[in-house]
Structure 1
Amino acid sequence: MGAWGVGINQNDNYEDVFDEFINLYNQDYAVADITAYLIENNRDLIESEEYSNDFWFAIANCQWECKELEKAIYDKVEKIILSEENLKLWRQQDADTKTIIKRDIALKKFLTKLTTEKAKPRRRIKIKYYDSIFTNGDCLTYTLENGNFGGAFVLTDEKELQYPKNFIAITNINQRERPVLNDFKESFVVFEKYEHPILKRIDGRELIGYFMQYKYKTIDFNIEVVGNLPVNNTFESGNTVYGYGWGLLKLEQNHPIYNNWAIVDNRQLAIKKWLK
């Protein structure tokens, strides 16, 4: 589901739609035109049983923020929530009873919010441009949930963009001592192992994804740059289109989020691949 919490906005798909909507809104496009554009260009998301709810929640919240919530959009969201369609999806993802109760509360609270008229429409903000947080080749360390030091390697950086990002590879560094550059040279990328919700098979992929600059200010832990290793610039994002919240960094290996997802250290992909 791409969710890291029970809140309506604690979801990758929701955030992507919300951010694109607000970006267009800040460029002075009309709310109705933005909505039509996003519906037309997110057919795969809308037609997905697993992800469509997040799309409509984002659209509804954006329209509400702009004080232009359409009745048809509200009715769709109301049906999703009152029919418990969304809770059914969470149960299918093996969320426990406590989590389901919290999610139900969050959904009902969101629906109540939509029925309350906003005093003023969201203010349009002039677009600013930024650099990504880190530079390619940076070796990052931070404290894992188990108290050890973890490590991640920055593969790309971006300059002067509205929403810059770093592609980062999460490594298998998990040790009591603060890592040094040689630890990164000898490290491997960890993999995420998960059960495909539809095909019911176990899949896996290297834990490399993009981390957004604008989300960095919300993290609740420290990330330190140990140093920088020259990269050969052979990394290409290609099909690596997964975006992650910064909080993912501090999860240690073999830590399951739900019963169908875990981080594993299989030592198949070495960081050396991208070093000069």
Structure 2
Amino acid sequence: MGAWGPGLYQDDVALDVRDYYKDQLHRGKEGEQITQELIAQNSDILEDPDDGPVFWLALADVQWKMGRLENVVKQNALNIIDENVDLMRWQHEEPGCVKKRLHMLSELKEKLLSPQPEMKKVSQYRLFHCNWKKGDVYAYQMLGDYAKEKGFFEKYVFFVKMDERTWHPGHTVPVVYFYWMISDVLVETKELKQAGYMPQVYAPQAYINNPKLKKRYRLTLLNTSMKVIPKKNLIYMGNIGNVDEIDEKTLTPYAVGWKEFEEYIIQNILEWNEYKVF
């Protein structure tokens, strides 16, 4: 169930408008451009008698707070308040909340008629692009406390980059296959190809209980800056060129951060090695 309540941002439409506006400012866009994008992207919402007023109220509010209130947006919001357009929905669906909604609208009108703050400076996103190439193979040596506890200390696991995806707010991160091999030493890439890929996300029992469940193999590694990549653990083993892919494009790759990676992959290994028949 989405947000719902008499507060301005107890509404999914209002939240979406506010978040998009702020997000696009962080991407370096001007306020007027963002407004036009929002209008173009929300034509259906603007025609809706319930959601349309919420759109303008939220847009006016966030623009005022950011010191970028546009006259047209301000006037649309004030007209909605003065003509009680927004209240009709509440009188019909939630009469018990009318007073709270009316109070919110009154405060918003007072705000919009007052001098807005100075235009706020908005920092730009620092987006990271992982420069690994498709077919790049890496060994990861497990050196953490969890690896010691589970008997995997200094052992290697291996993966190949097979794709990439965008991670909020716009980072480019690698999608990989993990080879079904754990080793005390580095091995040749041809041995890895023969080992096949290890399934990810679900434990084997999930597939036993649901035979129609399609196995997932792709894993997103959240490399969102150079400093989070564990360079001391990674060894580049070369590029194998074409990657043998498994048809699972309809499934979203599971994502794991480097802080959680070692524990995640060890648990995955322990679970799947018990059911190697899969």
- TM-score in terms of structure 2 length: 0.45
Which one has a larger percent strand, Structure 1 or Structure 2? 1
- TM-score in terms of structure 1 length: 0.45
